[in-house]
Chains A and B, each alone.
Chain A
Amino acid sequence: MHLHLALKNLTSKPSRTLLTVVAITICMVFLALFTAFQEGLRNYLFKNSLQTNPLTQLSIQPKSKKLGLNPLDLLPQSSLTPKIISEIKEIPHVTSVEAQNTVKGISSLQITMFGQTLQTDALIFGAPYETISSDQIDENIWKTSTDSLGTAANPLPAIISTHLIDLYNYSFATANNLPQLTAQNFIGTDIDIMLNQSTFFGQQNSGLPTLKARVVGFSPKAKLIGITIPSDTVQQLNKQYLNAQDDTFVDAYINVDSVENIQPVKQALLRYNVNISSGADALDTINSYFTVISIALNLIVLIMLGLAGLMIASTFLAKVTEKTREIGILRALGLTRRSISRIFLIEAGIIGGISGLIGFSGAYMLSTLADRIILNSISFIAYKPVSFFTYSPLLLAATIIFAIIFAQIFAYIPARQASKVSPIQALSN
């Protein structure tokens, strides 16, 4: 009976019903859109973050002081020696250590693409296979033979930071009018390595051979300012050409058997005077960024909700005034006060539910559009999410339920007022 009367009321003034629906729908579109966006972005960032920094992994770096503007000009405060690395391996709960070394000094790289030759100073890093094993690179390629290393017939396998492609596309390619690259384009590119030589500092190669390397893949774990080759090879190059007997490591990933044991391992690492960061730290950083974004977005939605709420309240107050006579009739026919207010709340609920459903659908369509536009405009970024939004049945249900409750909350006072209408006064005019 309540539903029957509520529906009759809604259909008798369709334009007003529609207007209220539109107002709530707009709110719900933004609510669903923002929530889906926050979810989507969080998922993407978390996924990325966990890929580079799994929760059971710590990464350590020697402390150093920046000397000047050149990012490579660092004064080391501590170092990661092979001795330290082997000590760390003995810390309880540490399952393995992936130490990254580097070729001594600065090297000069020369890459030829599209008939253009790019020469740049860079560092050559070494990584064990374990570090890059999740990046679809064949283990056999990474385990190079030690003889005839870096010749045209047997180039060194090199991987490049995924972020470097973005950087290339964004700055270099655009500036030089070169085609944009995808990760696939890069694979197979040859790189000439001139050890101990710098274009920047005008330092000349002291008769060392030019080594050949070939790009075999990409990894978010590869360092941005250079190329990464197998760590064994780096060690060999250091010994063979640069007169360095011992490896010094630039950083190391420490794998721990479980998340709970991260803390004790961290404690044990403190005595090595190194910077320690963990996946959890990275997530914390993302989370704190997120709090700011969430507050901003939710504030916008809150303001809109406030406005829509006032509109619901005023529409329903007008409705109650307009329906005073009808309320009187219904009371005379035996409807209780509670039933009167329930009819209005059901009306509000229906309006809310419809708005929630339309709002969710609208948000979904808008995000498809937004995805297309955004992804088009950042086509130079090689590794990007498929969508910036995450929708789930849970979000659909939550949006609809929220909209229903929201509309009912703001219709509550008018509904109460309706229940208090005096039937004789209502019937006398």
Chain B
Amino acid sequence: MAEHSIEIKSLHKSFHLGKQSIPVLRDIDLNIKKGEFISIIGPSGSGKSTLLNMIGGLDSATHGSIHIDGVDIHKLNDKAVSKFRNNKIGFVFQDFHLLENLTVEENIALPLRIQTKRNSLSRAQKKAVTQMLKVLDLHERAHHRPYEISGGQKQRTAIGRALITNPEIILADEPTGNLDTQTGHQIISLLKAINKQKGITLIIITHDHHIAALADRIVQIQDGQITTKASTHKFTH
């Protein structure tokens, strides 16, 4: 049990539109080991993003549970689940979701400010941010705003922001969706390197089978249900 960092048990999720209840996830069972690289594939509207958001504690389950490091995250109150997100989860989105009125540097530093609730950064934190900018080759763009940099740079900024608090899990929802193929591959290589070097659990949603094939395991979702839990070597296309 301890080897699994994420344990999902008979997870159901329905959205309510008026009196209508739309089931989006049905009976999901999934265990993910610490340091594992998982890719989630499936047709549009199948519930991939919903699942990822629930792992990140952004939404609660209708039935079932998600345990992360043994804690049922949907039983946490807002303060605790926020702290959990801040400390353990790093989100990377298709639309980058950077704050437009903050610079690249400030965007990366933001989770640290949220962590300490302080307006200014400590010396160690400043050093970590500078280091992160260098690693991601963004140090020349540190004081630029998101609209002044390229898509690849934006996604690297988002990755920097996700990594700055040394999370246990990176949740990436189509991180290459808005990038050209080459930049996309660079971003995936970066994420994979982080996964391998730091042992951070990596879950990527993708429509690109080449990217999916890089993962340790592929989870396919259809109509809100897991249809395949294949290791990459079994995966064919």
User: What residues of chain A have their CB less than 8 Å away from a CB belonging to chain B?
Assistant: 1-4, 8-9, 11-12, 325-326, 328-339, 422-424, 427-428
Contacts and interface: CB of A to CB of B under 8 A. Distances in A.
Contacts of B161: 333
B97 A336 contact: no
Nearest to B91: A332
Contacts of B82: 331, 334-337, 339
A289 to B, nearest CB: 51
Contacts of B97: 325, 328-329, 332, 427
Contacts of B98: 329
Contacts of B50: 424
Contact of A424 (B58, B87, B114, B115): B58
A30 to B, nearest CB: 33
A349 to B, nearest CB: 15
A219 to B, nearest CB: 64
B37 interface: no
Contact of B101 (A12, A325, A332, A422): A12
Contact of A333 (B86, B100, B117, B119): B86
B83 A1 contact: no
Nearest to B103: A8
A334 B101 contact: no
Interface of B: 49-50, 53, 56, 58-59, 78-79, 82-87, 89, 91, 93, 97-102, 106, 110-111, 113-119, 161
Contacts of B110: 330, 333
B76 to A, nearest CB: 11
A1 B78 contact: no
A334 B119 contact: no
A324 B79 CA distance: 20
15 contacts: A1-B114, A1-B116, A1-B119, A2-B119, A3-B119, A11-B101, A12-B101, A326-B99, A332-B91, A333-B91, A334-B83, A335-B82, A338-B79, A427-B58, A428-B49
A145 B53 CA distance: 105
Contacts of A326: 99
Given A333-B110, A427-B53, A427-B58, 16 more contacts: A1-B118, A2-B119, A3-B119, A4-B113, A4-B119, A8-B102, A11-B101, A329-B99, A331-B82, A333-B85, A333-B91, A333-B161, A334-B83, A334-B114, A335-B114, A337-B82
B111 A334 contact: yes
Nearest to B77: A336
A338 B49 CA distance: 26
B58 A332 contact: yes
Contact of A334 (B49, B85, B100, B102): B85
B87 A334 contact: yes
B182 to A, nearest CB: 26
Contacts of B106: 8
Contacts of A2: 117, 119
A149 B116 CA distance: 92
A424 B53 contact: yes
A330 B82 CA distance: 10
Among A1, A328, A333, residue most surrounded by chain B Cβ atoms (within 10 Å)? A333
Among A4, A328, A332, residue most surrounded by chain B Cβ atoms (within 10 Å)? A332
A427 B93 contact: yes
Contacts of B115: 334
A339 B83 CA distance: 12
Contact of B58 (A8, A9, A12, A331): A331
B215 to A, nearest CB: 22
Nearest to B162: A333
Nearest to A11: B101
A30 B48 CA distance: 57
Nearest to A328: B97
A1 B113 contact: yes
Nearest to B96: A329
Contacts of A333: 85-86, 91, 110-111, 114, 161
A283 B87 CA distance: 67
Contacts of B78: 336-338
A423 B59 CA distance: 8
B59 A424 contact: yes
B49 A1 contact: no
Contacts of A428: 49
| In the A-B complex, the 3 residue pairs with the closest CB atoms | A334-B86, A12-B101, A1-B113
B59 A1 contact: no
Contacts of A339: 82, 114, 117
Contacts of A427: 53, 58, 93, 97
A329 B111 CA distance: 11
Contacts of B58: 331-332, 423-424, 427
Contacts of B59: 422-424
Contacts of A12: 100-101
Contacts of A424: 49-50, 53, 58-59
A307 B38 CA distance: 56
A157 B81 CA distance: 90
A4 B53 CA distance: 27
